[in-house]
A and B are shown apart, each in its own frame.
Chain A
Amino acid sequence: MTETLLIEGLTRRFGGHAALDGLDLRVDAGEVFVLLGGSGSGKTTLLRCIGGFETPDAGRIALEGVDITALPPHKRAVNTMFQSYALFPHMSVAENVGFGLRHAGVGKAEAARRVAALLKLVRLEEFGARRPAQLSGGQKQRVALARALARRPSLLLLDEPFSALDRNLREDTRVEFLRIQRALCIASILVTHDQEEALAMADRIGVMQAGQLAQVGTPEDVYERPASRFVAEFMGMANFLPAVVRERGRGTTLLRLADGNLPVRSTCAATLGSQVTLALRPERLALGGAGENRLEGIVDGVSYRGATLDVFVRFGTTALVVRHPLGNGAGVPGAGAAVTVSFAADAAIVLPD
């Protein structure tokens, strides 16, 4: 695979605070790269630096091998789909979509043909003459996408593209976006704070933390094998237990939990004798069950979630959340009941401290 975007040592400071702190990033041709991070993690600043709306204090941005760090936005072969869509209210849908073609040296007839094709692509053929104010949220979103695609950019930037949509609409829109993105094979960077969205959309995910990429990898990598507690928490892990590495075997590691002095078997590799954190996903824990690892505890309380029940199990001074599936006549333990929590060795994720 060839790279579309290469960023080296990108730094952007606001006052004394570094929104981007020596960030490196590579985006390959045709891939959907999702930047995942909380507010203030620098993901929007990074997107604005790539689009040309922020000038980095240090570092280099190269698009298809050409340094674009110093270029103004209108000279970059990068197009952005803004979070607010930023549709021009005084122009029709067709004029919005065709706006970028006027300065791209595209003839009138050719521009009209391409606008029609783009409107067809986003299924808005009938809406060319309307004003943005006459469109629904989902339609506006599609116009914004068509407009960003019109100039056939080398790289498409999407800033929280689905956040303004209803939950139901969001699902369809994601699928629709991926259909179009795969058809055109345009490298895309998508910014979001929603881990579920990141997992569903990304070829690769970059988790941002304090102006740097905490981890870059496929959705499976980032979800199953988080590199740090920060990434693990961001990817929905809720249980963290301090432990010490006691033994290293082939494919398994034996830990001893600091609390309760219990042995735990994990498939993760770790340095012998080191202090680590054991991370456990609530849905990988079972009440009773036959996992390799078993912990005895007392139920503190339960929280009903519809299809599942969150059971809070206390043992020693720590507590675990177990996501217990409901239905099939599965019994529901009450508060104060003694239970066994079990989990497989490959559910026990070892994070360096």
Chain B
Amino acid sequence: MRRLIVTLPTSWMAVFLVLPLAIVLAVAFAEATASVPPFALGFNLGNFATLVADGFYLGTFARSFVVAGVSSALCLVIGYPMALAITRAPQAWRGAFLTLVILPFWTGFLLRLTAWIGLLREDGWINTVLGLFGLGPAEMMYTQGAMYVGIAYCYLPFMILPLYARLSARDVALEEAAADLGAGPWRVFWRITWPLSLPGVVAGSLLVFVPAMGEFVIPELLGGPAAETLGRVLWGEFFANRDWPMASALAVAMLLVLMLPVGIWQWKQGGER
């Protein structure tokens, strides 16, 4: 029994995480060929050289960083007040509010995005309502704005849940003590509530930032052609150009770049303990 408990997750990780990663890594160093499969194994650093030398890829990384950063910031600005409000709601209501936060997960991801398309497109709900007032139609689909709306909408729960976990465990007496010592509500927030919630802020931001960095579906469906994020470029290299080694090299580079902030965070957390 005990061996099973250890073996099962270990073999799961081996088959579905380590093995695929190893394959991606191997392909990243391979040579692209016109064969099936379209690569020849070897040790070829050319793909990584192209990544660094070609401004297109660096630009993609930069763009994805901006998209992920803006998405995290949006989710934080929307999610923080919500998480705080839930912790201040009467005990009996908190469970219901948290359920509402994760309720969208009960519907398929693509279905929800399709619903957003229905809202945003040129003859969609929003433009129809605007039309009733003689306004519009506003061009909303295939814009940066539509993409951010989609990302913020889809990833908001990942921001709210860790924030809520952190905020609901806070000691309200600290806020009372600050008020008692002459701090008004704003000052109490910025000097007590906010700094003590930072671990939750970082956890939530990473949970949004990391997947948003590689996000493919949302920029593809809602974003315009300018939204050439890493996920889309990866997809293009793999399926359109059939350059598997280049796509793998991109994936490896992205993994390394993303491990950096997570690594720093964990190292810092370890240092505080």
Seen from chain A, the residues whose Cβ lies within 8 Å of a Cβ on chain B are 51-53, 72-74, 78-80, 82, 84, 86-90, 99-100, 103-104, 147-148, 150-151
Question: In the complex the two chains form, is A74's CB within 8 Å of B177's CB?
Answer: no
- Are B184 and A74 neighbours in the complex by a CB distance under 8 Å? yes
Q: Known pairs A80-B180, A82-B176; list 9 more (Cβ under 8 Å).
A: A72-B184, A74-B184, A78-B180, A84-B173, A88-B177, A88-B192, A99-B181, A99-B191, A148-B180
What 0/1 readout, one digit per residue, does chain B (170-201) give for beta carbons within 8 Å of chain A? 01011011111111100100011001100000
Q: Cβ of B173 and Cβ of A82 under 8 Å apart?
A: yes
Q: Which 4 A-B residue pairings sit nearest by Cβ, starting from the closest?
A: A100-B181, A86-B177, A86-B173, A73-B179
126-162 of chain B: CB within 8 A of chain A: none
For the complex, what is the distance from the CA of A53 to the CA of B188, rounded to whole Å?
14
Contact B174 A74 (CB under 8 A): no
| Complex: A52 Cα to B177 Cα, angstroms | 11
| Residues of the A chain whose Cβ atoms lie less than 8 Å from the Cβ of B191 | 99
Closest to A97 in B: B181
User: Contact: B181 with A84, CB < 8 Å?
Assistant: no
Out of A73, A84, A87, A90, name the residue touching B180 (CB < 8 Å): A73
What is the chain A residue whose CB lies nearest that of B195?
Answer: A90
List of A residues within 8 angstroms of B178 by Cβ: 88, 99
Number of interface residues of B (CB under 8 A): 17
A104 vs B180: C-alpha distance when bound (angstroms): 12
Q: Assuming the A-B contacts A53-B176, A86-B173, A86-B176, are A79 and B195 also in contact, with contact meaning beta carbons closer than 8 angstroms in the complex?
A: no
In the bound complex, what is the Cα–Cα distance between A82 and B174 (angstroms)? 9
A100 contact set on B, CB distance < 8 A = 181-183
Tell whether, in the assembled complex, residue B181 and residue A147 are in contact, meaning their CB atoms are under 8 Å apart: yes
Tell me the bound Cα distance from A284 to B196 in angstroms: 55
Contacts of B187 in A (CB 8 A): 103
**Which secondary structure dominates chain B's binding surface?**
helix
Smallest CB separation, B184 vs chain A (Å): 5
B residues contacting A by CB (< 8 A) are 171, 173-174, 176-184, 187, 191-192, 195-196
Pick 10 A–B contacts, CB within 8 A, sort by A.
A51-B180, A53-B176, A53-B179, A79-B180, A80-B176, A84-B173, A86-B171, A86-B173, A90-B196, A100-B181
B196 touches A74 (CB 8 A): no
Docked complex Cα distance between A104 and B183 (Å):
9
Instruction: Give CA–CA (A72, B181) in the complex, Å.
Output: 11
Task: Give bound CA distance, A274 to B229, whole Å.
Answer: 93
Distance A104 CA – B171 CA, assembled complex (angstroms): 24
Which among A53, A86, A103, A150 is the interface contact of B183 at CB below 8 angstroms?
Answer: A103
A74 CA / B176 CA spacing, docked (Å):
9
Given contacts A82-B173, A89-B196, contact A151 B181 (CB under 8 A): yes
Contact partner, A72, options B173, B174, B177, B179, Cβ 8 Å = B179
Bound-state CA distance A74–B191 (Å) is 14
> A129 vs B176: C-alpha distance in the bound complex, in angstroms?
24
Name the CB-closest residue of A to B182. A103
CA A103 to CA B183, docked complex, whole Å = 7
Q: Is the CB of B183 within 8 A of A74?
A: yes
**Within 8 Å CB of A72, what residues of B?**
179, 184
A84 to B173, CA, bound (A): 8
Closest chain A residue to B196, Cβ basis: A90
Chain A hits for B184, CB < 8 A: 72, 74, 103
Contacts of A150 in B (CB 8 A): 181
Give the CA-CA distance A207 to B171 in the complex, in Å: 30
Given contacts A88-B192, A89-B196, A90-B196, contact A151 B173 (CB under 8 A): no
